[in-house]
Amino acid sequence: MLHSLYIIMENGVSVFTKHYKKMKVDDQLISGFMSALGNFSTEALGADLQSIKLKTGEQLSILKYPYAPILGIVIADSRDHSTLIADILTEILREFTEDYRKQIVAKDPTLLGQTEKFNEIVDKILKGKIASRTILKMIVGNLVSFSLMVFITILIVAGVLRFSEFIEEPFAGFPDISFVDGIDPGEFFTLQTITGTIIGFLMLIFIGIFFLPSVLSGYIAGNEKRGIINAILLGLITGVLLFVGGLNRETQFGDFNIFWWFLIFSPLLIFIAITCGYYGGHLKVRRKLWPLEIDKF
């Protein structure tokens, strides 16, 4: 969450400030210092956004708006993504320029007293860009993702059963193999083909079942670390349920209990789950700010 926002003219005069956490430093004093720092970093390094880690754990970000002689400066939570901060700050500066372009161009010294209504616009921009990260969200993420996994599984099983109605011979027309007189090279090649087909088919099924739910679980959880935890939990829950189901009745694919197939592919599934959970959490961090930890004063 943005803790403080400053919009500063090129001469270092602050024309708009907004705080979500109380600041003990005078706005004009800090804006003059940050303006000089922003101008130096932009011209010396040529970068659009400069971020500095503060001792308080927050990050200070400076953005020079290319379409008007103003700077946007924010102090934000250290966990907020720098690209997201840049996008939000760009949107705020664009709105500010549209509302006060004449005063900015004229370098009107009274502009600071005319920007009170812009507080509402900033709140409107930030609304919907903040998301909480709680244990409850992680639980909800796993519940929703597991429900989606069950739904995808039902669709896949229904598709497989529907497709199997059109297959008259076993294994999509592969011939029967007799082990009575041994296996000739042709039969051995056929056996390899059948085995590879089954393994590849099951691999695609498991990837299809785990991919989207793991991403969704990580996104709802809120960040990369929580996404990984949720994805691992999702895999463990699935494995336990398949094991329990195998004890009560044969949930089989062919002549094999589906749990053992799940166990065989578990290294691949864990990798997929962790990768997708991390990606889902990263998407959330990239799209949503962390909430403010204290109430707005």
- Is residue 194 located within the same domain as residue 52? no
188: its two tokens:
């051995």
- Is residue 50 located within the same domain as residue 143? no
Question: Which residue do the tokens 């880690």 mark?
Answer: 53
Chain-centre distance of CA 198, in angstroms? 33
CB-CB neighbours of 165 under 10 Å: 7
- Is residue 161 located within the same domain as residue 114? no
d(CA 94, CA 6) in angstroms, rounded, equals: 14
d(CA 182, CA 136) in angstroms, rounded, equals: 59
Nearest alpha-carbon partner for 97 in 123, 62, 121, 61: 121
Q: Which residues, 6 or more positions from 133, have their beta carbon under 8 angstroms from its beta carbon?
A: 221, 222, 223, 226, 290, 291
- Is residue 182 located within the same domain as residue 233? yes
Query: Which of 87, 104, 126 is the last residue in one of the domains?
Result: 126
The C-alpha R_g of the chain, in whole angstroms, comes to 29
- Is residue 282 located within the same domain as residue 143? yes
**Residue 295 forms part of a structural domain:** no
- The number of distinct structural domains making up the chain is 2
- Is residue 238 located within the same domain as residue 161? yes
Q: pLDDT digit of tens for each residue in the chain (297 aa)?
A: 888 888 888 777 788 888 887 765 556 566 666 666 666 555 654 555 567 776 677 888 888 888 888 888 888 888 899 889 989 999 999 999 999 998 888 888 788 788 888 999 999 999 889 988 889 999 998 899 888 888 887 887 777 666 655 554 444 444 555 555 555 565 556 656 666 666 666 667 777 778 888 899 999 999 999 999 998 888 888 777 777 766 555 445 445 566 676 777 778 778 888 999 999 999 999 999 988 764 443
Contact criterion met (CB below 8 Å) for 77 and 289: yes
- Is residue 17 located within the same domain as residue 105? yes
Residue numbers of the domain that contains 223 = 135-287
- Is residue 106 located within the same domain as residue 149? no
Query: Which of 98, 126, 154 is the last residue in one of the domains?
Result: 126
- Is residue 151 located within the same domain as residue 75? no
Query: Which of 126, 146, 168 is the last residue in one of the domains?
Result: 126
| CATH number of the domain bearing residue 19 | 3.30.450.30
Nearest alpha-carbon partner for 5 in 115, 138, 140, 149: 115
30: its two tokens:
């800090």
117: its two tokens:
């209504």
- Is residue 75 located within the same domain as residue 6? yes
- In 20-172, the DSSP E strands lie at 49-53, 59-64, 70-76
d(CA 131, CA 109) in angstroms, rounded, equals: 37
Which ranges of the chain would DSSP assign to H, the alpha helix?
27-45, 82-106, 118-126, 135-164, 185-221, 224-248, 258-264, 266-287
CB-CB neighbours of 136 under 10 Å: 9
- pLDDT at site 289: 92
- pLDDT at site 187: 54
- pLDDT at site 201: 66
- Is residue 185 located within the same domain as residue 58? no
d(CA 153, CA 190) in angstroms, rounded, equals: 29
**Residue 293 forms part of a structural domain:** no
DSSP 130: B
d(CA 288, CA 228) in angstroms, rounded, equals: 18
**Residue 78 forms part of a structural domain:** yes
**Residue 50 forms part of a structural domain:** yes
265: its two tokens:
């592919």
- Is residue 111 located within the same domain as residue 159? no
d(CA 84, CA 93) in angstroms, rounded, equals: 14
**Residue 294 forms part of a structural domain:** no
Strand pairing partners for 176?
A: none
Sheet containing 14-19, strands listed edge to edge, beginning at the edge strand earlier in sequence: 14-19, 2-9, 70-76, 59-64, 49-53
d(CA 277, CA 216) in angstroms, rounded, equals: 8
On whether the pTM is more than 0.95, the answer is no
